[in-house]
Structure 1
Amino acid sequence: MPFPDGRRALLAPAHLTPEPLPWKEIRVLPARKPAARHRLAVTVLAATGLLGLAILSAPAASAATAGEITGIGGKCIDVANAQTVNGTAVQLHSCNGTAAQSWTIEADNTVRALGKCLDVTGQGTANGTKIQLWDCNGSGAQQWIPQANGHLRNPQSGRDLDAPGGATADGTRLQIWDTNTNPWQVWTLPSGTPGSCTPSLGEGEYNTPVSFAGKTYQVLVHIPHRTNAKLPMVLNLHGSSGTGASQLNYTAMAATADADGFIVAAPTGVVPSGSGYIWNVPYVTPSGTRDDVGFIRQVIDTLTAGACVDPARVYATGYSGGGRMTSALGCMLADKIAAIAPVAGIRAGRPDPQDTSRPDPASCQPSRAVPVIAFHGQQDNTNPYYGGGDGTAWRYSVPVAQQRWATLNSCTAGPNTSQVTTHVSLTKYTNCRGGADVQLYSVSDGGHTWPGSPYESAGNGTTTREVSANTLMWQFFQQHPMPAA
């Protein structure tokens, strides 16, 4: 089946298992070479037996300091005429060392000068919306997240700070615009920005050790080209009988991470199953094996230090059994994970033993409202969209799972359903506590598959390419960082 841009899907190996594993793992994509500094560090640490400690040595970010923010043409971000009236234009101007060009990027993700905040006019989200100075008010219009590529992103709009058309004339009014590769979206921030640190893990794709409960496990990471800005991280959990490597391949998420500047961590379960492993999903998997909620917590903590992960932008996704595990993380790890995106596996706790057509309320009690975006094929025969299936891991339907998350998040609007493409519809619950909306993309002809994967999945039904789960979940994640304490 061709993609919209004319590319054709790759065919995965034919010897696929019918359960969630998209294919038997026969290879791992070649790892990109880490930076030279990282290779040297690994060599030295391995020789001294201290490799397991390497990822714990990243220095803490320093306190915010004031300074210039420079962009295209070496020009500075400037408050017009050094005025402090609400609505004053924010522009490019030749650098002059004045207070109108002295900015701090604070720990709450605001950018401040003259006692006020960099603000998107009127809470706008459209391309071309102008930037102004305004009283700091905690709104999404005043949130700016430094990106690995030097961009400043406003997560409410999903767009980046931009100098229109690359103009460099003094007085050029700044705006927001879709992320692109043009140099007029690249900004040099003041030293001491809270969102910066020096990672001990270099860019590339490789295994790195994580110690948990007296054992050491290798976790596959993909780290894009980066500056010293703290990066978001997406946990990508494999399906039953899979591995971290097979999941990273199947979802093609490394390419998305490179394009959008986030880290992917693809750990592997520990309970053997077929040619791979399964996750110890709470209330589902027999006890007596690794505590995978605790293990994932340790993965997050270890990589937050070693890879300079932004703790406010840690997200989780997963396929099938990994989707069920992702849902469990939403229930039990809401203090660490900002939002979740289960694919072919949305749950809201185990089936209620008294009535398996609904979730057991006691088995999912998140500590805060958790934003959820899910994807599910209506022709899924492994985790059936309309319910049934495995008596301990499934039973209640996908719409019931979504509705339960909406209840947990105190949503007051919805469900509202719209047709996105010929075979894909979107059901939303909105006006939720803390902005934690709950979205479900339903694929009418979709099987037990990952939307947008370049691989077919023999025995698991149709893979839609009308939408990309990677793209849609990343857009959703950008809009839902961890709420400020």
Structure 2
Amino acid sequence: MVVALGVVPTASAASQATGAVSGVGGKCVDVAGAGTVNGTAVQLWDCNGGSAQKWTVGADGTVRALGKCLDVTGQGTVNGTKSQLWDCNGSGAQQWSAEADGHLKNPQSGRYLDVPGGSTVNGTRLQIWDRNTNPWQTWHLPDGGTTPPDSCAAGLDSGQYNTPVSYAGKTYQVLVHIPDRPAGTRLPMVVNLHGSQSTGQGQLTYSAMATAADSNGFVVVAPTGVVPSGSGYIWHVPYVTPSGTRDDVGFIRQVIDTLTVSACLDPTRIYATGYSGGGRMTSALGCMLPDRIAAIAPVAGIRSGRPDPSGADRPDPASCAPSRAVPVIAFHGQQDATNPYDGGGDNNAWRYSVPVAQQRWAALNGCTAGPTSEQTTTHVRRTVYANCRDGADVELYTVSDGGHTWPDTPHDNGNGTVTHEISANALMWEFFKKHPMPPPAR
């Protein structure tokens, strides 16, 4: 079990406290290459249970791994001084004090163990920095032995409310819906992105996903864009939305990293969906955040990169090149007049067809079987590419009479027929459950 840092452990407890120290993004404090040479970097890495991630919290205020101590390089006291592994010598550079809210202080410098910029890239070297409220200064110590991936600090309370996320020097209020759960249980999360001219609250209402979250035990986060449009906002979709505003890929990465800690999430079960412009943004996240998002489910908005400038009836390969195979389930109405099923339309970002987008994802995922189609209901056809790399299948539900709508929503937005023959929420959740993040390679 892992507990949030509290007071400095007592001798009787601390001498037996050995296990992982985890932080932002659900990643672990790690000794680079399991090296034991003095000066070996102490870094952030995917949690793997190896000896380089087994730390003993000592009664003497030290934090030890591989027989050596977590040390501030050169006994430095300035912001940005890097951490390292060094022979235990009793110096102030090797003293650490745990605070009740999860901070780990080096009293000699008066500064705190910190991840530079909140990066969760493997190999990010840890440092000391002035105390702040960013999640990359929140740590969880072992209380002896094991670190189950489904256990963590209690996290945010259940309910629906706004919670702060800091990004690029600004703080944004992000809407979350958290179901009831046993204390300390890590939950999956679905990032649910609104369509153009809407908001996070509007999307949570329109998709009716809060009910599905309560029934199935997952967190929903519904952030809001910052580019004003109509009565709401649009997303800064890479390559297709005018630049010069918030980097929404970076912002959503920060939302995920912040809530993984503050809301007690399972980092291997983070998913994304969205409607219309939010579906296009969801597709972009599949292209650009495959290290955070396990699978995607665009609704009325599946893309696989921007239209190719040399031929707009196909996607530009350079604009979507994920580092791994990303499972995809999509929903689209054939009577969609906003993002037409067959491509074209008034939107320059929407030129190639929905089947071409699905086919491109199948190629990216290395699928070797399909497409196969079956009529699942009177007006709904399911098309699947299978035998894909890492099991990352690509599914499309086509609604023959469907408009620019969310299947089974109880709300009519005036954009055509809403099918109730299938439920997008139910089908995508069943798909998500089958597709957690694959184990990392090291």
Shorter-normalised TM range = 0.5 to 0.7
Q: CA deviation at 1:62?
A: 4.1
The structure-2 alpha-carbon separation of the partners of 1:274 and 1:226, relative to structure 1 and needing over 3 Å to count, comes to same
Q: Who is 2:177 aligned against?
A: 222
Letter in 1 for 2:286: G
Mapping of residues 71-470 of structure 1, within 5 Å: 193-227=148-182, 228-458=184-414, 460-470=415-425
Q: CA deviation at 1:198?
A: 1.4
Matched length: 308
Following the alignment from structure 1 to structure 2, what is the Cα–Cα distance between the partners of residues 425 and 268? 32
Q: CA deviation at 1:195?
A: 1.3
Q: CA deviation at 1:386?
A: 0.5
Letter in 1 for 2:163: T
Q: Who is 2:140 aligned against?
A: 60
SS of residue matched to 1:439: strand
Q: Who is 2:94 aligned against?
A: none
Letter in 2 for 1:359: P
Structure 1 spans left out of the alignment, 5+ residues: 1-51, 67-191
Q: Who is 1:157 aligned against?
A: none
SS of residue matched to 1:434: helix
Q: CA deviation at 1:64?
A: 8.7
SS of residue matched to 1:272: strand
Letter in 2 for 1:207: N
The answer to whether the Cα contact below 8 Å between 2:368 and 2:386 also exists between their aligned partners in 1 is yes
The answer to whether the Cα contact below 8 Å between 1:58 and 1:199 also exists between their aligned partners in 2 is no
TM-score normalised according to structure 2 size: 0.68
The answer to whether the Cα contact below 8 Å between 2:299 and 2:406 also exists between their aligned partners in 1 is yes
The answer to whether the Cα contact below 8 Å between 1:64 and 1:193 also exists between their aligned partners in 2 is no
The answer to whether the Cα contact below 8 Å between 2:259 and 2:265 also exists between their aligned partners in 1 is yes
The structure-2 alpha-carbon separation of the partners of 1:421 and 1:64, relative to structure 1 and needing over 3 Å to count, comes to farther
Following the alignment from structure 2 to structure 1, what is the Cα–Cα distance between the partners of residues 135 and 427? 31
Letter in 2 for 1:53: T
Report the aligned-residue RMSD: 1.6
Q: Who is 1:173 aligned against?
A: none
Q: CA deviation at 1:199?
A: 3.0
Letter in 1 for 2:224: T
The structure-2 alpha-carbon separation of the partners of 1:206 and 1:412, relative to structure 1 and needing over 3 Å to count, comes to same
The answer to whether the Cα contact below 8 Å between 1:58 and 1:308 also exists between their aligned partners in 2 is no
The structure-2 alpha-carbon separation of the partners of 1:469 and 1:292, relative to structure 1 and needing over 3 Å to count, comes to same
Letter in 1 for 2:434: Q
The answer to whether the Cα contact below 8 Å between 1:350 and 1:392 also exists between their aligned partners in 2 is no
Following the alignment from structure 2 to structure 1, what is the Cα–Cα distance between the partners of residues 439 and 248? 26
Following the alignment from structure 1 to structure 2, what is the Cα–Cα distance between the partners of residues 59 and 360? 41
Structure 2 spans left out of the alignment, 5+ residues: 1-131
Alpha-carbon deviations, 1:84-114, whole Å to 9, x = none? xxxxxxxxxxxxxxxxxxxxxxxxxxxxxxx
Following the alignment from structure 1 to structure 2, what is the Cα–Cα distance between the partners of residues 54 and 293? 19
User: Which of 436, 439, 442 lines up with 1:484 in the alignment?
Assistant: 439
The answer to whether the Cα contact below 8 Å between 2:226 and 2:246 also exists between their aligned partners in 1 is yes
The answer to whether the Cα contact below 8 Å between 1:58 and 1:306 also exists between their aligned partners in 2 is no
SS of residue matched to 1:280: coil
Following the alignment from structure 1 to structure 2, what is the Cα–Cα distance between the partners of residues 61 and 369? 33
Q: Which structure carries more relative contact order (alpha carbon 8 Å, separation 6+)?
A: 1
SS of residue matched to 1:394: coil
Q: CA deviation at 1:456?
A: 1.3
SS of residue matched to 1:229: coil
The answer to whether the Cα contact below 8 Å between 2:302 and 2:330 also exists between their aligned partners in 1 is yes
The structure-2 alpha-carbon separation of the partners of 1:64 and 1:467, relative to structure 1 and needing over 3 Å to count, comes to farther
Q: CA deviation at 1:392?
A: 2.5
